[in-house]
Amino acid sequence: MVQGQAPAVREGQHWRERPALARTESPRYLGRAVVSLAADPQVQAKSGGVHLMGDLAREYGFTDVDGRVVPPFQLE
């Protein structure tokens, strides 16, 4: 949704050409985080916490579709 609202995306440019969006991840990155958490027998230890996908990617060893581990960030 964020990518679709960026003016450059609507004008046909690739979303990674926008500096504010270049560091974002694909929806599959989130999906890989969910799968990793679901497969973790110790997931209950994470209950009630806030976990950034970049941190989870490093912990569980998954990457985005392009091979990147997107650093943790928060929207400002």
Q: What is the per-residue pLDDT across 9-37, written as a single tens digit (0 to 9) for each?
A: 556 666 566 666 666 788 899 999 999 99
Q: Which residue has the higher pLDDT, 54 or 14?
A: 54
List Cα–Cα distances, 76 to 19, 60, 61, in angstroms: 14, 26, 27
**What is the distance between the alpha carbons of residues 42 and 23, in angstroms, rounded to a whole number?**
30
In a domain, 48, yes or no: yes
In a domain, 37, yes or no: yes
> Which residue is listed with tokens 């392009």?
66
Domain that holds residue 59: 25-67
In a domain, 9, yes or no: no
In a domain, 41, yes or no: yes
- Per-residue confidence band for 51, with pLDDT thresholds at 50, 70 and 90: very high
pLDDT at 44 over 70: yes
- Number of domains making up the chain: 1
- Per-residue confidence band for 46, with pLDDT thresholds at 50, 70 and 90: very high
What local confidence, expressed as pLDDT, does residue 49 receive? 93
In a domain, 45, yes or no: yes
In a domain, 14, yes or no: no
